[in-house]
Amino acid sequence: MPVQDAQARARNFLEVNSGYTNARAAFEAERCLRCQHPLCVDGCPVRIPIPDFIHAVAAGHMASAADILRSANPLPAICGRVCPQESQCEAECSMGGRFNPVGIGHLERFVADWERTQPVTVQPALTKSQKIAIIGAGPSGLVCAGELARLGYPVTIYEALHAPGGVLRYGIPEFRLPKAILDWEIDLLRAMGVEIVCNVIIGKTLTLDDLTNRLGYAAIFIGTGAGLPQFLNIPGENLNGVYSANEFLTRINLMRAYDFPNADTPVRVGKRVAVVGAGNTAMDAVRTALRMGADEAMIVYRRSDEEMSARAEEYEHAIEEGVQFHWLTSPVEVIDDGSGWVAGLRCQQMRLGEPDATGRRRPVPVPDSDFVLAVDNVVLAIGTTPNPLLTRTTSGLATTTRGCLLADEATGLTSKTMVFAGGDAVTGAATVILAAGAGKRAARAIDAALAAQLL
């Protein structure tokens, strides 16, 4: 995959990957063995018929490739960019043993990007009368809405923020997922007749029961994500210059702090920035810090690179861009510069012990190993949990002890009649493609349930 020069791109917000050329895409498509039992499909959470779409690319039938992709995954341009392919489809590719696996993700993106150059032909086809409400315009809600609109239902998405997209808007940075792509997908939904109402917080502006009882929605899908940031609860965490990754990225992505003072929301990025954690959000935050002008940006993670959950490509890109990595390093205190701002991060060296419940080796502190990283900012990317705003104000909605909604795996049905849920609100923080898959399954289940009501 061609990329922007690492030195240059570490200082701009333009997309890192520039996409396959036609020749490269054709070459890559020809590498697919078209296995009789394609394991790559098993590796895909939404079971895209991967060899079929790749075959269409090889044959030059781009429209057909796009149709095949979209039939299985309504967000191909996004998933082609943000899916952890190396642990899904590409991990199973038969070429992967002796050679590099086929670049399935990059081909997905190639097809989706071609599709965006074509005129939009969809139009509303509202054949059903039962209205459906979707709570949250993130990946699962957008996909669920798209599927239901395709099936002929009038759909309204209620979004709490002033712009739709959820984590695709506030979390994932421009250099990894250009907002123009998200906007295109959202425009497509609107063209299909999906109504998106921003600034309405279900659970506050309207209750979930209002949607059914007062507004007459026949079914509801909850896709409220996992937006509540976790903190370390270590001394100094409330010093100025400490951010949750959610706050840091939201200020920059959603609120455009990179364009301050043309945009009104500021962010304070110093010369040295430490990001705690090693997932995709941590990589997004640390690379964003460089683009906001930090001289040095570093990952601080209590485990080793083996246990890191970030996509391989993001890790590689971060290394190329000069991000520093402090593995087996656990923060114990944020140090005050004397005026209430961050001066440093006191850390403890760790070593790996026995595997824990997640199967990953548990980090154990090394005695007397404290040291201080001199930094101006600390960004915490140590995970998020579902936002309790809706569940607190809705009776009869069962949750796990971790605040995740209880929902049937196959249908997304919650403990409430005709209320479905999917995505991070059910699973806890996971991936875009899993959320998309859940949104799609719920749409089918809602259709089946509503069809049964009419019998």
Partner 1 sequence: MTRILDARPLTPVTKLFVLESPLIAASARPGQFVMLRVREGGERIPITIADYDRAAGTITIVVQEAGATTRRVCALEKGDTLLDVAGPLGSEIDLPPGGHICGVGGGFGSAALLCLMRERSAFGDRTTTILGARNQDLIILADDLARVSDRVYVCTDDGSAGFHGFVTDRLARLIDGDGLGRPDAVVAIGPMAMMRAVAETTRGYGIKTLVSMDPLMVDGTGMCGGCRVMVGGQPRFACVDGPCFDAHEVDFATAMRRNKAYVREEKVASERAGCMSGRR
Residues that bind partner 1 (CB under 8 A): 160-162, 170, 198-201, 204-207, 227-229, 231, 233, 237-238, 240-241, 243-244, 246-247, 250-251, 254-256, 259-266, 268, 340, 387-389
292-to-5, 214, 296, 316 alpha-carbon distances in Å: 17, 47, 11, 20
Token pair belonging to 151: 């099936």
User: Using CA atoms, how far apart are residues 320 and 7, in angstroms rounded to an integer?
Assistant: 8
Token pair belonging to 64: 């057909």
What angle, rounded to 10 degrees, do the helices at 280-291 and 312-320 form?
Answer: 30
Between residues 338 and 367, which has the closer beta carbon with respect to partner 1?
338
CB of 238 vs partner 1, minimal distance in Å = 5
Rg (CA), the chain: 23
Between residues 26 and 161, which has the closer beta carbon with respect to partner 1?
161
Between residues 170 and 301, which has the closer beta carbon with respect to partner 1?
170
User: Using CA atoms, how far apart are residues 207 and 416, in angstroms rounded to an integer?
Assistant: 14
CB of 407 vs partner 1, minimal distance in Å = 21
Between residues 129 and 213, which has the closer beta carbon with respect to partner 1?
213
CB of 327 vs partner 1, minimal distance in Å = 26
Between residues 201 and 343, which has the closer beta carbon with respect to partner 1?
201
First-last CA distance in the chain: 52
Question: In terms of Cα–Cα distance, which of 65, 200, 223, 212 is closest to 145?
Answer: 223
Instruction: Find where tokens 């990946």 sit.
Output: 139
Between residues 227 and 437, which has the closer beta carbon with respect to partner 1?
227
CB of 406 vs partner 1, minimal distance in Å = 21
CB of 387 vs partner 1, minimal distance in Å = 5
Which H or E run includes 353? strand 342-355
Between residues 34 and 162, which has the closer beta carbon with respect to partner 1?
162
Question: In terms of Cα–Cα distance, which of 230, 222, 229 is closest to 203?
Answer: 222
3-class DSSP assignment, residue 365? strand
CB of 263 vs partner 1, minimal distance in Å = 4
CB of 391 vs partner 1, minimal distance in Å = 12
What angle, rounded to 10 degrees, do the helices at 432-454 and 139-150 form?
Answer: 40
